[in-house]
Amino acid sequence: MTKLINQVRPFFYGLLVTIILAIILEAIGFIIIDFDEVEVNIILFVVWWLIISLPIYHFKQLKRRKTAVLKFLGFGLLLVFLIIIDSWIDIPDNPVTIFLLITFWIGVSSLLFPSFFGKYKYYIIGIYVLAFSYWAFVRLFSDSFSVYQIEKKQLALMYMLIPIPVFILLWIYEQWVWLRTLKAEKTKAELALLKSQVNPHFFFNTLNNLYSLTVKKSDEAPEVVLKLSDMMRYTIYEGKKELVPIEDEVEYLKNYIDLHKIRYHKQVDINFNVDIDSPDKIAPLLFIILLENAFKHGVETISEDAFINLELESNTEYFKFIIENNFEKPENGNRQQGIGLENLRKRLKLIYPDNHELKSLTENNIYRAELTIFKE
């Protein structure tokens, strides 16, 4: 219920802002509302309500994307310029105004729905070109529509608004298809993740080390059994859950590090700094891929002075996991990342769409990865 309220709240704020702006702009004479045109007023009001509400709904994403915000402000200035031009040039159905209005619609669509617009941009632009061409023909050459008792202005408005509900319906259809396939895709991603985490090579080496410790009757053997058992339990059972306490994820990472230390007969400098402000939950088994890569492509390629530095921070705004390790360049000079990182990207896209950033940097034989997950 709380989640639903949070999703509806931006549209309520947008409704208030739209009403206030309409009252103010009409009071100062900036716009004129013809109360006899009920249908047109309703359509225009709903359209502007959505335009104002969507930036509020996507406020967190826009806050993190300064370039997108600047583009949005640019489109806002274009809209102001459009209104000023239309008020200064006293031409009925001004073609310049209509052209700028089309540009504004297309720009707003590309900003608020970048992936959707990128997929259908040629169709969107094509439909608007056809709509504008037909409107221009009606505006300049045709007087035959009077027999249907339809004014040119009403016809133009109708044709300018036709693409909007069409694209809204197309977007709704895409969301429906996406929801139908989401569960199946998520299950596949989870399965691929589990397969990549239950690494036979890792468990085989750990069991070999455990056997050696048992033969030597080492006091470390019971601790290794316990850690390995905890890891297997966490991977198999907790890994199926949507969210787990962040503390459990930290413990899993620490167990993984401890078991790896037993494997190596060389000194590995590992530092793990944890800063958690308050208890919170996160999708399981996200950070382990980055840690596994640090051992596989870093520690195992260096004979001495290997290191891994980890930082995990959790506050009211985000989770941030930073890992840094040195490595030795292979003979071909290319550092392979493997399928684990690709699985991680897919899973992040499914679980935290538009709410995560995964960055990596390689410099002077040091690899650094930074994963940020923004909280709702």
Q: How far, in Å, CA of 152 to CA of 322, rounded?
A: 61
| Structure confidence at residue 343 (pLDDT) | 77
Residue 17: predicted pLDDT: 85
pLDDT digits (tens, 9 = 90+) for 335-356: 555 567 887 888 888 788 888 9
Could you give the 3-state DSSP secondary structure of residue 245? strand
Name the more confident of 234 and 202: 234
CA–CA gap between residue 217 and residue 223 (Å, rounded): 12
Average pLDDT over residues 180-204: 61
Name the more confident of 61 and 362: 362
pLDDT tens string 119-165: 777 877 887 788 777 777 776 676 554 434 445 455 555 555 555 66
pLDDT for position 62 = 65
Q: Is a pLDDT exceeding 60 seen at residue 69?
A: yes
pLDDT for 103 equals 75
Q: How far is CA 110 from the centre of its chain?
A: 15
Res 244 pLDDT > 80? yes
| pLDDT tops 80 at residue 222 | yes
What would the pLDDT profile of 23-48 be if each residue is shown by its tens digit?
Answer: 887 787 767 777 777 787 888 888 88
- The CA distance from 320 to 313, in Å, is 5
Backbone angles phi, psi at 289, to 5 degrees: -65, -40
19 against 215, higher pLDDT: 19
CATH number listed for the domain at residues 200-374: 3.30.565.10
* Domain parsing of the chain, residue ranges: 1-86, 89-195, 200-374
Confidence of residue 198 (pLDDT cuts 50, 70, 90): very low
Name the 3-class secondary structure at 2: helix
Question: What contacts 40, CB < 8 A, 6 or more positions away?
Answer: 34, 154, 157
Residue 79 has pLDDT above 60, yes or no: yes
Q: pLDDT for 321-335, tens place per residue?
A: 999 999 887 766 555
Instruction: Summarize the confidence of residues 82-87 as an average pLDDT.
Output: 66
Query: What amino acid is encoded at 41 in this protein?
Result: N
Please say whether the beta carbons of 259 and 224 come within 8 A. Answer: yes
The pLDDT value recorded for residue 6 is 67
